[in-house]
Amino acid sequence: MRICSMPRFVRFVHDIMSEKKKDPRVMVTDLQFGTIPVRLFQPKATSCSSRRDMYHNLCIFLTWKTDSVLLCVGYRKLPDHHYPVITKDCLNATIHFLKSLETYGVDPSRVVVCGESAGGLTAAQITQILVAQRDLPKIRAQVLIYPVIQGVNYQLPSTQQNQNVPFLTRDFMLTCVCRYMAIDLSWKDVMLKGAYIPPETWKKYRKWLSSENISKNLKNKDLEPQFPGPFNEAAYLETKHLLDVENAPLLADDETIAQLPEAFLVSCENDVLRDHTLLYKKRLEDQGVPVSWYHVEDGFHGCAAFLNMKSFSFPCSMKILNAVASYVKSI
């Protein structure tokens, strides 16, 4: 209706759908780490905060189910803020937390970084960045729930097969990428075709980004377009930051990947991002990183966040969160 941008509308819908749950087993505290708002979830206490948040119930569930302290970062969001704001906010909050683990009764040998969707991208980025931070506790594991793991190849089988599946269609995904990466929406079609990728760059990264890495049983022979398209230098100049390693964890060098902690990866069959998880799974395994993979046949993008939303609740939500909780408890 042109009342507001789609990213802003999605945030509005998230807020009005979120009926915040109070749980006597979990204490929730709103804090500030510098200028960054965070929410601390601690087991076995009696009070609850009042600020609305779509992920509040998810955090409550994971906190009491795993008997863990959980920190949720209130990073600055679209459409008001652009890259690299999300990563910077989450990284700064994470470092602050890692330096203060004793304050919150957290075992420094059992810290897990977790993220869902774009948060999964940020979790992967932070885990890679912290590999080089020798003065901080090591991350024990990374939990990535249907993460965005690259923004280069938009012709993967899952992107084509699920391009019109709610709640993340291919067009909306491209819109969000453009908004966050400060790319004009007029370049969406060129990005979709991969025409902004220089031939030498594709030659370098094809072994990690190509659909050839996806199992044949997940492909549709009728949906195998030419990729990348003929190179468009103007498009490259406008969108080349999509190819930066900082924006695509899949493109990190072998040495960095090999040092990463074990991973728990969640993918959903009915998700444009399904193959992002599969590509990262292979990337990690090829470098000897232990990977546990949980695939949800009836899952769709965003389903984990719909926990306890009455008529908007789905069985796949509980499947994913139970699987994540079981994994965290096992390490």
Going from N- to C-terminal start, the domains of the chain cover 6-330
- Which pair of tokens denotes residue 43? 């087991």
Residue 67 backbone zone (phi > 0: left; psi -120 to 50: alpha; other: beta): left
pLDDT on residue 46: 39
**β-sheet with 291-300: strand ranges across:** 112-116, 141-145, 262-270, 291-300
**What residues have CB less than 8 Å from 122, skipping those under 6 apart?**
75, 86, 87, 90, 115
Six token digits for residue 231: 């190179």
pLDDT tens digits along 14-27: 555 555 566 789 99
Which residue carries 């990866």 as its tokens?
A: 265
pLDDT of res. 313: 78
What are the DSSP E strand ranges found in 180-276? 262-270
CATH topology of domain 6-330: Rossmann fold (3.40.50)
Question: What does the pLDDT read at residue 24?
Answer: 85
| Rounded-to-integer distance, Cα 240 and Cα 218, Å | 30
Tokens 């991973």 correspond to what residue?
Answer: 263
Task: Supply φ then ψ for residue 19, to 5 degrees.
Answer: -95, 105
Terminal Cα-to-Cα distance of the chain (whole angstroms): 48
For residue 166, cis peptide bond before it (omega within 30 degrees of 0):
no
C-alpha span between 71 and 94 (Å, rounded): 9
- What's the confidence (pLDDT) of residue 79? 84
In the predicted model, residues of the chain with pLDDT beneath 50 are 46-52
Degrees to nearest 5, angle at CA 40 with 38 and 41? 145
- Cα 203 to the chain's mean position, in Å? 26
Task: Tell me which residues are annotated as active site.
Answer: 117, 271, 301
Q: How far apart are CA 197 and CA 214, in angstroms?
A: 21
Q: How far apart are CA 59 and CA 307, in angstroms?
A: 10
